[in-house]
Structure 1
Amino acid sequence: MGHCLSWTKSTSSVFSYYFGSDGTVYVPGSNAFVKSLYGTEDYIVYHAKHFGDTGYNRELRMQKFMWDALGNPVFGHPLPASVSMQLPSGEPRSISN
């Protein structure tokens, strides 16, 4: 990523529960950061839930994030599973099993 050497802990959540017209994402957590294959995009990989129950009904998710002028990550909100995203740069345009 290379945008900043260290981060300061925020006083509030920077990536949390989302409820919107496009869907809901519960308790995103346990994240990691990766670059696209071409190294031109940054992604957050995390787990989230479709439902607000107390079970461990989680799935792995990934979405692109940006950087602000001060070198801080700007995550936006966790995207619901129904939202389409472009493949990371360098990934083949078709994926087969």
Structure 2
Amino acid sequence: KLKAYTLQDDLGMDTVEANIKLGFKPDLRDYGIGAQILRDLGVSKMALLTNNPKKIVGLEGYGIEVVARYPIEIMANAENRGYLQCKRDRMGHLIEVMD
């Protein structure tokens, strides 16, 4: 993660470009362990606070029904605008970049 941040800061790469340059998938997250813990705790249905549709698919793939999704609304600023646009445009996140 730190190497990816360095590529972003020093070379102007976005999150996806930096991860690929380092030989990783664009998004390294895996929801399996968390989903298994939730199942062990008796969770079979949940409402989810996320902008990432892959998170919903990941949890449902482990038998957890996502009954509602609540978006995380983030105001764009000079520091996070590119990051939010990358998440929306390159990673499929359901984000409205608000000014």
TMscore range, shorter length: under 0.3
Structure scoring higher RCO (CA < 8 A, sep ≥ 6) equals 1
Bigger share in strand = 1
Bigger share in helix = 2
| TM norm structure 2 | 0.23
| TM norm structure 1 | 0.23
Q: Higher Cα Rg: structure 1 or 2?
A: 2
